Amino acid sequence: MFKSRSSDHVNEMNYRHLSLQCECGAIPQQIAEVGFTDDRELVIHWWCDTCRRIVYFSRPLSECWRDCLALDHLEHVMREAARVAHEEADERFLNSIGICSINECQEKRPSPGESAGRKRLA
């Protein structure tokens, strides 16, 4: 879990480690550049101190996307999206037959001392 601090809150972000190594088996000590190609690939570039070569690692973003999806997280996101969609659909239906939501009813409710359609005179 990666945590970063901004001015007033903490952002949490899950991520998966990307294993990088040269053809010689050495692991990069320092990344020189990270970028994207025109045909939507992630490119990572570094200098291999062991075999003294420039190394480029590239991978289609579609593979990166597929690898980063944790199934349990994806299931949670899908359940939450379905729940919200059902709630919104239910609210639209209830509104269409004249039933207001709790929040709407509270906003429309007369204040104490007022009756529906009449305002209390001071």
One domain for residues 18 and 47: yes
* Low-confidence winner among 30-39, 40-49, 104-113 (lowest mean pLDDT): 104-113
pLDDT tens digits for range 14-27: 677 788 999 999 99
Residue 46 burial (C-beta neighbours within 10 Å; 0-12, 13-18, 19+): buried
Q: What is the number of domains present in the chain?
A: 2
Does the pLDDT at position 2 exceed 50?
A: no
Q: Are 80 and 86 in contact (CB under 8 A)?
A: no
Domain that holds residue 105: 70-109
| Length of the chain in terms of residues written | 122
85 vs 4, residue with greater confidence:
85
Residue 114 located in a structural domain:
no
Question: Would residue 40 count as lying in a domain?
Answer: yes
Residue 103 lies in a domain: yes
Residue type for position 32: A
> What was the pLDDT predicted at 25?
94
**Same structural domain, 50 and 77:** no
DSSP calls for 48-79? ETTTTEEEEEEEEHHHHHHHH--HHHHHHHHH
Q: Is the pLDDT higher at 17 or at 10? A: 17
- Model-level pTM? 0.47
∠ CA 46-50-56, rounded to 5°? 25
Q: Looking at the predicted structure, is the pLDDT value of residue 61 above 80?
A: yes
Q: What is the DSSP letter of 105?
A: H
Q: Is the pLDDT of residue 46 over 80?
A: yes
